[in-house]
Amino acid sequence: DGKKRTVIDGPFAETKELVGGYWLWQVRSIDEAVEWLKRAPFDGNTFEIRQIVEMDGM
């Protein structure tokens, strides 16, 4: 029915699918990122959440 959200852990294999866009969020935890994603207005789609590390001095 598209109303239930599912969260799974990676790692994920290389995808051959088209990336329709991306968001960058600064959050404190993966749980906070999931809460933001639950607000996305795109029912029935698949999303990946990936951590990006900020490197000092770059």
pLDDT at 18: 65
Q: What is the pLDDT of residue 32?
A: 94
State the pLDDT at residue 31.
92
- Give the tokens for residue 2: 């598209």
Residue-level pLDDT at 15: 64
User: According to the model, what pLDDT value does residue 14 have?
Assistant: 66
Give the Å distances, CA to CA, from 32 to 1, 13, 14, 27, 53: 25, 24, 25, 6, 16
Per-residue pLDDT of the chain (58 residues; tens, 9 = 90+): 567 777 776 666 666 666 777 888 899 998 999 998 888 887 777 788 888 887 776 5
